[in-house]
Amino acid sequence: MNLPNPALVSQQAVKQLPRLALLLLCAAYVLPGVFGRDPWKNADLSAVGYMLSLARGHADWLAPSLGGLPAEGGLLPYWIGTASILLFDGWIEPVLAARLPFALLLTAALALTWYASFHLARTDKAQPLAFAFGGEAQPVDYARAIADASVLALIGSLGLLQLGHETTPELVQLAATTLVLYGLAASPFRRWRSRVAVLTALPVLAISAAPTTAVLFGAVATLVCLRSTYENARRFAPWVAAAALLAALTACAVNAWTWRISGEVPTLALPRLLAWFTWPVWPLAAWTLWQWRRQLGHRHLSVPLCLAGVAAGCSMAMGGNDRALMLALPSLAVLGAFALPTLKRSVSAAIDWFSVFFFTAAGLTFWVMYIAVHTGHPAKPAANVAKLLPGFEPRFSLPALLLALAGTLAWAWLVRWRTGHHRQALWKSLILPAGGVAWGWLLTMTLWLPMLDYARSYRPTVQQLARVLPADACVVTVNLSRPQLAALTVHSRWRTTSDRDDRRCAWMLVHQPGPQGQPSGADRPSPDGQWQFVRRIHRPTDRQEGLFIYRRR
Cβ pair 315, 321 in contact under 8 A? yes
pLDDT in the model for residue 425:
80
φ, ψ of residue 258 in degrees (nearest 5):
-135, 150
pLDDT tens figures, 397-444: 999 999 999 999 999 999 988 777 556 788 888 999 999 999 999 999
pLDDT in the model for residue 519:
42
Task: State yes or no: pLDDT of 523 exceeds 70.
Answer: no
- Ranked by mean pLDDT, the top range of 70-74, 288-292, 362-366 is 362-366
Averaged confidence pLDDT in the chain = 88
Of 363 and 69, more confident: 363
**DSSP readout, 221-282?**
HHHHHHT-S-HHHHHHHHHHHHHHHHHHHHHHHTT-------SS--SSHHHHHHHHHTTTHH
Rg, the chain, Cα only: 26
pLDDT in the model for residue 100:
96
Percent of the residues in the chain that have a pLDDT greater than 90, as a whole number = 56
pLDDT in the model for residue 326:
95
pLDDT in the model for residue 1:
39
Task: State yes or no: pLDDT of 234 exceeds 80.
Answer: yes
Residue-range domain boundaries for the chain = 108-341, 345-456, 459-552
Cβ pair 104, 80 in contact under 8 A? no
pLDDT in the model for residue 525:
64
pLDDT in the model for residue 516:
45
pLDDT category at 521 given cuts 50, 70, 90 is very low
* Average pLDDT over every residue of 89-99: 93
Cβ pair 404, 442 in contact under 8 A? yes
Spatial CB neighbours of 99, under 8 Å, sequence gap ≥ 6: 34, 48, 167
Q: What is the Cα 410 distance to its own chain's centre?
A: 24
Contacts within 8 Å (CB) and 24+ apart, 98-104? 98/48, 98/51, 98/52, 98/167, 99/34, 99/48, 99/167, 100/34, 102/166, 102/167, 102/168, 102/171, 102/172, 103/30, 103/31, 103/34, 103/165
pLDDT in the model for residue 138:
87
Task: State yes or no: pLDDT of 343 exceeds 90.
Answer: no
pLDDT in the model for residue 421:
59
* Average pLDDT over every residue of 353-379: 92
pLDDT in the model for residue 132:
62
pLDDT tens figures, 116-140: 999 999 998 888 877 766 677 788 9
Task: State yes or no: pLDDT of 514 exceeds 70.
Answer: no
Task: State yes or no: pLDDT of 548 exceeds 60.
Answer: yes
pLDDT in the model for residue 363:
95
pLDDT category at 15 given cuts 50, 70, 90 is confident
pLDDT category at 352 given cuts 50, 70, 90 is confident
Task: State yes or no: pLDDT of 212 exceeds 60.
Answer: yes
pLDDT category at 69 given cuts 50, 70, 90 is confident
Please report the sign of the dihedral spanned by the C-alpha atoms of residue 164, residue 170, residue 175, residue 177. negative
Task: State yes or no: pLDDT of 229 exceeds 90.
Answer: no
Q: What is the DSSP letter of 548?
A: E
pLDDT category at 266 given cuts 50, 70, 90 is low
Q: Give the DSSP H or E segment for 366.
A: helix 345-375
User: Does residue 522 sit in helix, strand or coil?
Assistant: coil
CA-based end-to-end distance of the chain = 86
Task: State yes or no: pLDDT of 109 exceeds 80.
Answer: yes
- The mean-pLDDT minimum among 78-82, 265-269, 309-313, 490-494 falls in 265-269
pLDDT in the model for residue 500:
79
* Average pLDDT over every residue of 129-156: 86
